[in-house]
Structure 1
Amino acid sequence: MPYKIVMVRNDPNYGKRRHKGLAAVHVLRSYLERHSALASELQVEIVELNSCWPQATELDTRWILSFEPDAVGLSCYCWNIGMQAGIASMLRRARPGIAIIAGGPEVSFDAEAFMAANPAVDYVVRGEGEVTFTELVDHLVSGKGRPAAIRSLNWRNGGTTCANPDRPLIEDLDTIPSPILDQRVDLFATDGEVMIETVRGCVYHCSFCLHNKGQTGMRVFSWPRVEAEVRALCEHPAVNVIWFADPTFDYDEARALRILRLIEEANAGQGVAFELRAEMLTPALIAQLARLNVVDVGIGLQSINPIALSNVRRASNLESFRRNVSMLAEALKDVGTRIDLDVIYGLPGDCYAGYMDTIDFALDLGGHVYYQPLRLLKGTNLAQRAETFGLEAAPSPPHNLERSLTFPHEDMIRAHHLNAGLDFLQCESMVVQEAIRELRDMARQASQKCSMATACEIVGRGLWASEARNLFRVANASPDDIPVHWRISELATLLTGGRLDNILPIGPRHDLATRLRASMSLSDGCAPSSSGYFHAAL
């Protein structure tokens, strides 16, 4: 009988960044099947769950049990740890003899505390997991060797837990087999979005991020490996978008150009998406990107507050940022590329006025603001220095900031107001976008000063006072399935109510509300913006 292992991926299954075609569990399986001394005795299955559906934990557990596994591996992140822990507990009750293994960033940096709080978990694989997981499986299957000899492993020894020394990082990344080249991922069974990593680590050391944790520099996959994977994906009929998971794709201009030219040669129409550093963009990179079908670009702005950026060890040249993003937007305007400008509110030293300035800066560039609260992720330098900056975060994942010395509770509420108005502004309807621009102009006539961020806050504050909190999100990463016609209706109701009487003139508000309601009966009333995903500068 084979030794049956089920590996559980549990990610948000909605909107952008789904990447169902590849994940850490696929890489772990490929490494295990290539390097395990007992690979011929293994039967490995991958189960993919939706972390947006936590009420399905019981059903998910029964699905896992239907494979009759001897061991279950749970991939743990801040967005799924509650579900994964619940699955572990249910598995233990249903099958007391099963080996339950947890790994991933949410359990790697406080493994002892996690195991104490989750007695159903037998092992925690810390950090980069390919070698540790393989050695552990070999031990479980053969019954030989000692868990104490497996580095980067936490394990139970009777009533106590043990923590083995850390393992060095894998020096030669090419020893990690490619699930793509080994055909260990059925791309026809995915949504067509496939994630690929060509590096591990990051050349930057932002203190809120885990990309450089335990690493002193960047490790890269060899060119032959990268070339083979990119060609295979470009030539595969089921692949719609290749998402490059590299934290800063353009850190090395020559290498980035080589990959981009390869994509153009292999399949110029292939959808691609990247995370870029604006200040690293060059005219050559921008010109080459314009020759491709770039569907999405993520660019980290985070904040324009120099104190906040200094506190998180992030250097930024705002003039270079503005110039390069503008050049990129112009080069990609005919493609319909969505350019996300990532923003974090609540960074140490930042304040609500600084957040408003950052939003206005991003909107002025025409970008789609992808906002997030500061998250004190386990293992980050900033989490270790939280007390220094007076940062108080929720103890439960995803560890969102609750308040700080410069961003108190009251200002976090104001940020929610602004974010709700921003969601209206950025929804794919020209009707709603133009309405909020008109609100801004009304406010300017009344007070002579009103930015787009202020206009968004006015909308959000009115919705909050109207108890329409079902329209609020903490972060862009939350599911947003609110129909455009609903947003139009809510905005019209807000305009005709009394919540804005002391802010905006009644006559123009009522006229705008009438036009909004009339638009709902028109065939194009809910039509997407003519500019595609990239909104014109406001």
Structure 2
Amino acid sequence: MKTVLVGINAKFIHPNLAIRYLYTYTKDEYDVDFIEFTIKEDVSEIVNKIYEYKPSLVGFSTYIWNIEIIKKVVVKLKELDDNIKILFGGPETSYDIEHWFSILPIDYLITGEGEYPFKALLHALENNLDLKHVPQLSYREKDNVLINKEEYVIDLNTLPSPYRLKRDNHNRQHQIQYIESSRGCPFKCSYCLASLEKRVRYFDRDYVKQEILYLMSQGAKTFKFLDRTFNLRKDNALDIFAFIIKNHREGCVFQFEITGELLDEDIIKYLNDHAPKGLIRFEIGIQSTNDYTNRLVNRIQNFAKLKRNILLIQAGGKIDLHLDLIAGLPKEDFQSFTKTFNDVFSLRPQELQLGFLKMLRGTKLREEAPLYKYKYHETAPYEIIENEDLSKDDVKLIHLAEDILEKYYNSHRFDQTLSYIIDRYYTHNNFQFFLEFGAFYQIRYPNLHHQPADLCIRLWDFIRYKELDENIIISLIKYDYLHKTKIKPKIFYEPIITPEERRRLYNHFITLYPNYNLDNLYRYALSEKLFINPLTYEEGEYYLIKLFLPHDKNCYIIKIS
């Protein structure tokens, strides 16, 4: 019996770890293989490639980001050959079991952790055994759907490594390496599927370390730990941090999801003292700073302590911070969300992700949706449309602000410009900038693609519309644009530096930096006059020189007395 496991990923860089666990746990005893696609691929092509394996059983790893395309693939695959049996697993289909059997021609569904139940299913099918003894399995029997409620909690340290497949090695440096050092979550946030997991269990620490060493030896650069709260146990976190600091290779980055207020100051001090800059990245889900809202979704958060820890991390200058917010939580109206955004944005993290509440199947909050008069999309990812405290128009405005946040803040294309604008003109309500610019952008440039130069022009247009100090802010936009560019770019502005000013500037520059010559500058540099020093915000006449030499992309700010 040929079994094919299918992962349909959001992007190529996101490999599916789940199907690798299933594959390595069963491949020595059963005829199992796996194949991966992305959600951008054509449905018919996916179906044809799966069919080339001549499978008897096809298993799909389901998530909110791929379930809609999986629905289409399953229907076409069954049309092609109704004898192929379909298995679902994964967080998206582990709840509302009858729903999936009622809308799709699936044959089997495994809920929760799948390694042992998957192997038990293969054993039962190959030996014509009764399926009622396969834990966590739901299946069709005549016109009924039978659900085995028995759960099997596997010893994590009996699982073969999913990280050492030779077929993956050629893609290591181009993909994110997803790592588990534990499974489970201790918290009960009512909007999150992790709240339904029973307890936290840990992999052997030495095993985790050896897998990291192996992956680095194969060229892996980017690692993301899937632990729900990596710093739940101080000893575990500190030991792995110390191991990574000691053994990392150049260019590696490790990301961890942590609970910020649980961070021990000893760990923060250790990382600030010993971690190379940029090696470690923390993702912290703040979600809301409204205490009442947090209580309603079973979150316990001490924002004052969390903020203090974040400031300690930032003072060290070693750890990049990715902070998360959720718009649409219960009793968080537009005014409250504005405060939440401003509370968190004031910390100026490297990245601020503004997400929208998703009413995930199986969660307590989805069951409570009528209580708060939620309306949400019926198809995945089940995003909120409105609730009793946040209107459709409110949600739309926040979406517009989120679009600007991604294009202009999280992209880091306009760091100096945005800091100046927000600190000077939007000090008391940072969110207002993103709201106003978002609404402006939607009216002027709806559904238009953008290159970096286009983003500059559109921000310049907004500055004129708001009648802000154009000379100063366009100087900052020019600096951000040229500073971040690695290849000599298309110029979106008419230079104001004159040929004579450029001649004086270059002659002055080579006296300051004798390693350069005039030929370098005239051939490989762009220069411009500015009315502010973009690094200090001191106003006056300054000059920018951006180099585009093959091995020198430096940017200089020069003041000529």
Selected match of 1:198 from 181, 184, 199: 181
Q: What secondary structure does 1:186 align onto?
A: helix
Distance change >3 Å, CA 439–CA 186, structure 1 → 2: closer
Residue in structure 2 matching 1:380, options 339, 351, 363: 363
For residues 133-532 of structure 1, the aligned pairs below 5 Å read: 133-142=118-127, 144-170=128-154, 172-180=155-163, 183=165, 186-190=168-172, 191-215=174-198, 217-234=199-216, 236-267=217-248, 269=250, 270-290=252-272, 291-293=274-276, 294-331=279-316, 333=317, 335=318, 337-367=319-349, 368-429=351-412, 432-437=414-419, 439-440=421-422, 443=425, 450-466=428-444, 468-470=446-448, 482-496=450-464, 500=465, 504-505=466-467, 508=468, 511=471, 515=475, 523-524=482-483, 526=485
Which residue matches 1:536?
Answer: none
Are the equivalent residues in 2 in contact too, given 1:403–1:409 (CA < 8 A)?
yes
Residue 383 to residue 429, structure 1, CA distance change in 2 (3 Å): closer
1:114-136 C-alpha deviation (Å, 9 max, x unpaired): 111012x1111112111111111
1:474 aligns with none
Whether the 8 Å CA contact 2:8–2:61 is kept in 1: the answer is: yes
Change (3 A) 1:442 1:153: same
The structural deviation recorded for 1:469 is: 4.3
Contact 1:393 1:403 in 2 (8 A): yes
Partner of 2:555: none
Contact 1:297 1:339 in 2 (8 A): yes
Change (3 A) 1:483 1:429: farther
SS of residue paired to 1:145? coil
Deviation, structure 1 residue 176: 2.0
* RMSD of aligned Cα (Å): 2.7
Q: Equivalent residue for 1:114?
A: 100
Distance 1:363-1:514 versus aligned 2 partners, 3 A rule: closer
How far residue 429 of structure 1 moved from its aligned partner, in angstroms, is 4.8
* 1:236-294 deviations in Å (ceiling 9; x for gaps): 23121221110111111111111222223433654311111111112321233343352
> What's the TM-score once normalised by structure 1's chain length?
0.83
Question: 3-state DSSP class of the match of 2:345?
Answer: helix
Deviation at 1:184, TM superposition (A): 6.4
The residue identity in structure 2 corresponding to 1:43 is D
| 3-state SS of 1:68 partner | coil
Match of 2:20 among 16, 20, 26: 26
CA shift in 2, pair 1:484/1:295, >3 Å: farther
Task: Give deviations 1:123-179, integer Å, cap 9, x for gaps.
Answer: 11112111111111122223x211233222121122332222232433x22122222
Alignment partners' CA distance in 2, 1:202 and 1:428: 31
Aligned ranges 1:36-47 → 2 under 5 Å: 39=29, 42-47=30-35
Tell me if the contact between 2:184 and 2:197 (Cα under 8 Å) persists in the aligned partners. no
Identical aligned residues as a percent: 23
Q: Which amino acid aligns with 2:366?
A: A
Q: Is the 1:109–1:379 contact (alpha carbons within 8 Å) kept by the matching residues of 2?
A: yes
Partner SS, residue 31 of structure 2: strand
Looking at structure 1, the residues matched to 222 and 423 of structure 2 have their Cα atoms a distance apart, in angstroms, of 39
- Encode CA deviations 1:465-523: one digit per residue, 9 max, x unaligned: 2252457xxxxxxxxxx532221122233444xxx4xxx33xx3654686588669x74
Structure 1, gaps ≥5 residues long: 472-481, 531-538
Contact residue 5 and residue 33 of structure 2 kept, 8 A: yes
Q: Which amino acid aligns with 1:155?
A: Y
The residue type paired with residue 406 of structure 1 is: D
Change (3 A) 1:486 1:96: same
For residues 243 and 416 of structure 2, the distance between their equivalents in structure 1, rounded to whole angstroms, comes to 41
Residue 492 of structure 2: aligned partner: none
d(CA) in 1 for partners of 2:76, 2:140: 19
SS in 1 for 2:281: strand
What secondary structure is seen at the aligned counterpart in 1 of 2:162?
Answer: coil
- Cα displacement (A) at 1:441: 6.2
Unaligned runs of 5+ in 2: 488-533, 536-561
Task: Note the C-alpha offset of 1:63.
Answer: 1.3
Give the AA of the match of 2:254: V
Superposed counterparts of 1:60-139, under 5 Å = 60-119=46-105, 121-139=106-124
Q: What is the rounded CA distance, in whole Å, between the counterparts of 1:511 and 1:231 in structure 2?
A: 52
Would you say the 8 A contact 2:323–2:352 is kept in 1? yes
Corresponding residue for 1:7? 5
CA deviations on 1:42-74 (whole Å, 9 max, x unpaired) are 3322211112x15x1111111111222221110
Q: Distance in 1 between matches of 2:469 and 2:49?
A: 54
Q: Is the 8 A contact 2:409 2:418 kept in 1?
A: no
- 1:524 counterpart SS class: helix
Q: Which residue of 2 aligns with 1:58?
A: 44
- Partners in 1 of 2:132 and 2:8 — Cα distance? 29
Deviation at 1:437, TM superposition (A): 4.5
**Contact between 1:359 and 1:369, CA under 8 Å: does it hold in 2?**
no
In structure 1, what is the Cα distance between the partners aligned to 2:307 and 2:201? 30
Seen in structure 2, the aligned counterparts of structure 1 residues 188 and 517 have a Cα distance that, compared at 3 Å, is: closer
Q: Give the direction of change, closer, same or farther, for the CA distance of 1:442–1:465 in structure 2 (3 Å limit).
A: farther
**CA distance in 2 between partners of 1:228 and 1:525 (Å):** 37
Which deviates more from structure 2 when the two are superposed, residues 246-255 or residues 485-494?
Answer: 485-494
The answer (yes or no) to whether the contact 1:491–1:513 under 8 Å persists in 2 is no
Shift of residue 339, structure 1, vs aligned partner: 1.3
Query: Larger Cα Rg: Structure 1 or Structure 2?
Result: 2
- CA distance in 2: counterparts of 1:23 and 1:194, whole angstroms: 9
Question: Which of 341-350 and 201-210 deviates more?
Answer: 201-210
User: Matches of 1:519 and 1:174 in 2, distance apart?
Assistant: 53
Kindly provide the CA deviation profile for residues 435-473 of structure 1, in whole angstroms up to 9, marking residues without a partner as x.
4445446756xxxx74221111110011122252457xx
What is the count of residue pairs matched by the alignment?
A: 483
Q: Which is worse superposed, 381-390 or 285-294?
A: 285-294
* 1:479 aligned residue: none
SS of residue matched to 1:127: coil
* 1:523–1:443 CA distance, 2 compared to 1 (3 A): closer
Inter-CA distance 525–73: structure 2 relative to 1 (3 Å threshold): closer
Paired residue secondary structure (1:212): helix
Rounded to whole Å, the distance in 2 between the matches of 1:259 and 1:436 is 36
Aligned to 1:49: 37
* TM superposition shift of 1:222: 2.8
